[in-house]
């Protein structure tokens, strides 16, 4: 059974409303006015033309490379200092691979990853050492990402040990502070992961990511393995941490509702490409790419409250499956499932550009985009009923 006991929270007030069971509140959408869209701040991470192709081997008796999974195929994205940037898309579109490339758990096939002005795309382990501590990752599965044989104290102090960091007052003191920051009891320093609930384990993962005072955290589906009532609490924690500690986040998720609550800017991925990117309001209220429309219109399908029927809007049901990334469609990769597709879509890949009517920094890759006046769908994005209840304080 999932039980979220928040014992202490002094460093950052993340426990507001969640100590009492069922009272957790999902923070409201962040302000992202036109000003924010026009001047998003100083770039921290700049990814250009990033490619990751995984070789496909075949043949007998000699195995040769017979093809490639085009997991990430030439993406550009920028994350600014202290910004939360959401990366969304269906399963298999290349989100996790992007996260792993940025944290350099994977080596790119080509392209550049510039962190604070330095290209780290092909940096060696030694070259990466000085910035390793600044880029951290939070993983999807809190069950498998923590070593079951290590105490919480050992897990959280691990990164400090590896990097030879001795904070004032010692590592144990710092770990206890971190436990408080993430809303856990510092007295649980000597406990093991199995003694915690799923949500608490993800808090341990967050504390471990914070141990080296990172400037950028790549959070790969950090709440999708959690019970829906716990998701709100962990999103709340991440948002508070981002705001209070000024950490930039690349927040990877398939759930548009969650990303909306966490990100000032959002990029939508499809089959290894970014097909639309912009500030949160542009993406959710004035999406131009048919795929973004489809994703937004599909969100109520995962809820049980019939939100789309109430608003009288039609849901867009995408035909067919996502094509194989080994042999993606020519031209626009979305064309095989797109109701607006024409001949040009098969022959010319649409560039990711600012369309007339779009705000600055709202880019779309489509030959036949939706009109900028096409009805906003933000109100269609209904959270799962449990999250909605939390958001409305109905707990
Ligand atoms: N190590 C690998 N070797 C071969 N193919 C891979 C490897 N890792 C990922 N892929 C493939 O690359 C594509 C993109 O995978 P990725 O995990 O990045 O997608 P995703 O959007 O994060 O999806 P999910 O949410 O399901 O993880 C998929 O087709 C996947 O099968």
71-93 tens-digit pLDDT = 999 999 999 999 999 999 998 99
Structural domain includes residue 324: yes
The pLDDT, as a whole number, for residue 367 is: 96
Between the CA of 325 and the centroid of ligand 1 the distance, in Å, is: 9
Query: How crowded is residue 143: how many other Cβ atoms within 10 Å of its Cβ?
Result: 14
pLDDT band for position 302 (50/70/90)? very low
Minimum-distance ligand 1 atom for the alpha carbon of 89:
21
Structural domain includes residue 17: no
Structural domain includes residue 11: no
Q: Is a pLDDT exceeding 90 seen at residue 364?
A: yes
Structural domain includes residue 28: no
Structural domain includes residue 7: no
Q: What is the pLDDT of residues 105-135, one digit of tens each?
A: 999 999 999 999 999 999 998 899 888 889 9
Structure tokens at 92: 């298999």
Cα–Cα distance measured from residue 148 to residue 146, given in angstroms and rounded to the nearest whole number: 6
Structure tokens at 381: 């994005």
For residue 90, CA distances in Å to 96, 146, 327, 351 come to: 11, 26, 18, 21
Q: Is 266 helix (H, G, I), strand (E, B) or coil?
A: strand
Angle 20-25-29 from CA coordinates, rounded to 5°: 165
Q: Whose CA is nearest to atom 26 of ligand 1?
A: 91
DSSP lists the bridge partners of residue 75 as: 50
Question: Which candidate, 82, 20, 37, 105, places its Cα nearest to that of 277?
Answer: 37
What is the CATH classification number for the domain harbouring 297? 3.40.50.300
Q: Is 384 helix (H, G, I), strand (E, B) or coil?
A: coil
For ligand 1, whether the C-beta of 328 sits within 6 Å is no
* Gyration radius of the chain over CA positions: 21
Are the CB atoms for 182 and 205 separated by under 8 Å? no
Average pLDDT, the chain: 81
Between the CA of 211 and the centroid of ligand 1 the distance, in Å, is: 29
Structure tokens at 181: 């920051």
Structural domain includes residue 5: no
| Domains held by the chain: number | 1
Between the CA of 315 and the centroid of ligand 1 the distance, in Å, is: 28
For ligand 1, whether the C-beta of 71 sits within 6 Å is yes
Q: What is the pLDDT of residues 142-197, one digit of tens each?
A: 778 899 999 999 999 999 998 888 899 999 999 999 999 999 999 999 999 999 99
Host domain of residue 222: 34-391
Task: State percent of the chain over pLDDT 90.
Answer: 57
Q: What is the pLDDT of residues 192-207, one digit of tens each?
A: 999 999 999 999 999 9
For ligand 1, whether the C-beta of 207 sits within 6 Å is no
Residues 6+ apart with CB under 8 A from 165: 133, 159, 171, 212
Q: What is the pLDDT of residues 304-344, one digit of tens each?
A: 333 444 434 466 777 778 899 999 999 999 999 999 999 99
For ligand 1, whether the C-beta of 92 sits within 6 Å is yes
Pocket probe for ligand 1: among 58, 96, 221, 333, the residue whose CB has the most ligand atoms within 8 Å is 96
């Amino acid at each position: 059974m999932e039980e979220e006991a928040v014992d202490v929270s002094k460093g950052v007030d993340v426990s507001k409303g969640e100590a009492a069971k069922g009272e957790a509140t999902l923070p409201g959408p962040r302000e992202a006015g036109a000003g924010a869209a026009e001047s998003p701040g100083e770039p921290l991470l700049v990814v250009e033309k990033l490619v990751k192709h995984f070789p496909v081997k075949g043949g007998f008796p000699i195995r040769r490379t017979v093809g490639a999974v085009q997991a990430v195929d030439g993406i550009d994205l920028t994350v600014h200092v202290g910004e939360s940037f959401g990366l969304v898309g269906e399963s298999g579109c290349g989100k996790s691979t992007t996260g792993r490339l940025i944290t350099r758990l994977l080596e790119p096939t080509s392209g550049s990853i510039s962190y604070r002005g330095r290209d780290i795309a092909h940096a060696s382990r030694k070259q990466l050492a000085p910035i390793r501590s600044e880029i951290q990752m939070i993983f999807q599965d809190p069950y498998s990402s923590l070593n079951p044989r290590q105490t919480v104290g050992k897990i959280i102090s691990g990164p400090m040990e590896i990097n030879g960091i001795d904070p004032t007052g010692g590592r144990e003191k710092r770990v206890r502070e971190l436990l408080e920051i993430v809303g856990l009891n510092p007295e649980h320093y000597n406990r093991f992961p199995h003694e915690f609930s799923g949500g608490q384990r993800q808090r341990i993962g967050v504390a471990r990511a914070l141990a080296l005072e990172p400037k950028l955290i790549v959070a790969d589906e950090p709440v999708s393995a959690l019970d829906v009532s716990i998701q709100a609490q962990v999103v709340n924690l991440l948002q508070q941490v981002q705001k209070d500690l000024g950490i930039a986040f690349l927040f990877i998720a398939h759930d548009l509702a969650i990303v909306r609550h966490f990100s000032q800017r959002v990029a939508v991925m499809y089959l290894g490409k970014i097909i639309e990117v912009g500030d949160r309001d542009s993406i959710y209220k004035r999406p131009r790419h048919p795929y973004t429309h489809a994703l937004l219109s599909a969100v109520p399908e995962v809820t049980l409250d019939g939100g789309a029927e109430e608003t009288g809007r039609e849901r867009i049901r995408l035909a067919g499956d996502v094509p194989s990334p080994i042999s993606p469609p020519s031209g626009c990769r979305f064309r095989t499932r797109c109701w607006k597709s024409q001949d040009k879509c098969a022959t010319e890949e649409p560039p990711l550009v600012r369309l007339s009517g779009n705000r600055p920094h709202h880019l779309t890759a489509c030959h036949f985009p939706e009109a900028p006046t096409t009805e906003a769908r933000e109100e269609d994005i209904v959270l799962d009923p449990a999250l909605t209840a939390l958001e409305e304080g109905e707990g």
